[in-house]
Amino acid sequence: MSAIHPATAAPATARDALLCRVEDRLRDLLATEASRWSAVDPRAAVPVEAVAALVGAGGKRLRPAFCLNGFLAASGDPAREPVAVDAAAALEVLHAFALLHDDVLDDSPLRRGEPTAHERHAAAHRAAGWAGEPRRYGEGVAALAGDLAHIYADRLVSELSPAAREIWHELRIEIMVGQYLDIRVAAERIADPELSRWIAVCKSGRYSVHRPLTLGAAIADRLDLAAAFERYGAALGEAFQLRDDMIDAFGDSAVSGKPTGLDFAQQKMTLLVALAMPRDERISRLLAGQSAGGATLAQIITDLDVQGEVERRIDHLVQQAQAAIAEVPIDPAWRDELARFAVQVAYRQK
């Protein structure tokens, strides 16, 4: 049976074919909703269009890819492909929801190379001279658009089995708790590397790699793979987040589509900063809100030249991820693809 399964032919090709179906699904869903609500009143489609603008602005489609990797690596029954495609699409719309709300929490101006939704709509309010406060209106549009994306994501996973659905719920709950701890730790200026590592693992690692991969395997009814996929996801998720921190700290905003240095400016205790902390006691002073003789977090980290250390840590995590699936009972071609994909994710430029 697995002989006729596309996954045995060319893993990356099989996944990319399904990823194209994910794009079609997303485009059709949002276009249908936009026209349905425009028919009531042209204004009614604005929150749908805010979701469509963000989803259409690109993004790495990393979570859909991991979900489909999990499904195909587990030799999921081709008859279940529509469920896997919908779940992958759901993960991308859910990501749009998380970004729309997170960009308000961080007051981030830029996303995927465009002004963030709350910025754009506050500016439109200001330009039109509407009543009320532009900020409240702009952030309100982003909140409602995010909520709408959240609902569309849910609607896309209506066909999940109870076991797969539990993964979906847990994935979402972890984002919210992680997001809250993120703003709380920043507000309280808590310089606790262990807590910050847990937050990064919870809201980024599991959310981006481990849960989507396991969701795909669950749709293929292969929960026996969950343990190996969790080890792969935990290691690769941390590497993913370390790379994210590096891109935020030293990346090219024109390539990443996000502002550079935002984490430093907000004195966030990222994994990158946690790694650097033991090397210079001024870091904990800065994170605790005290002065460091005029030096900024960005300067200190740059002077410390931790990049080399971070890259070695990423190398190590990628090897861990690859080792976790070296023996997993799946098509060998898929073991190779998951190992290759780990490299692609850990060493990405954006």
Binding site for a copy of itself (CB under 8 A): 33, 37, 40-41, 43-44, 46-47, 101, 104-105, 107, 125, 128, 130-132, 136-137, 139-141, 143-144, 147-148, 150-151, 154-155, 158, 162, 165, 169, 172-173, 176-177, 179-181, 183-189, 195, 198, 266-267, 289
Q: How far is CA 61 from the centre of its chain?
A: 9
Angle 334-93-61 from CA coordinates, rounded to 5°: 35
Alpha helices in 57-161 (DSSP H): 62-73, 81-105, 117-128, 134-156
Which of residues 137 and 240 has its CB atom nearest to a copy of itself in the complex? 137
Phi-psi map region of 104: left, alpha, beta (phi>0 left; psi -120 to 50 alpha): alpha
Report, in Å, the least distance between residue 341 CB and a copy of itself.
28
Which two structure tokens, joined as six digits, stand for 39?
């028919």
Alpha helices in 129-225 (DSSP H): 134-156, 162-188, 193-200, 211-219
Which of residues 75 and 270 has its CB atom nearest to a copy of itself in the complex? 270
Which of residues 186 and 273 has its CB atom nearest to a copy of itself in the complex? 186
Return d(Cα 47, Cα 41) in angstroms, integer: 12
Which of residues 49 and 336 has its CB atom nearest to a copy of itself in the complex? 49
Residue 115's DSSP bridge partners are 110
Report, in Å, the least distance between residue 291 CB and a copy of itself.
14
Which of residues 39 and 255 has its CB atom nearest to a copy of itself in the complex? 39
221 in helix, strand or coil? Answer: coil
Which of residues 51 and 65 has its CB atom nearest to a copy of itself in the complex? 51
Residue 111's DSSP bridge partners are 114
Report, in Å, the least distance between residue 15 CB and a copy of itself.
28
Kind plus residue range of the DSSP H or E element containing 205: none
Report, in Å, the least distance between residue 314 CB and a copy of itself.
26
Return d(Cα 57, Cα 210) in angstroms, integer: 25
Report, in Å, the least distance between residue 315 CB and a copy of itself.
29
Which of residues 60 and 126 has its CB atom nearest to a copy of itself in the complex? 126
Report, in Å, the least distance between residue 273 CB and a copy of itself.
15
Return d(Cα 117, Cα 137) in angstroms, integer: 11
Report, in Å, the least distance between residue 78 CB and a copy of itself.
22
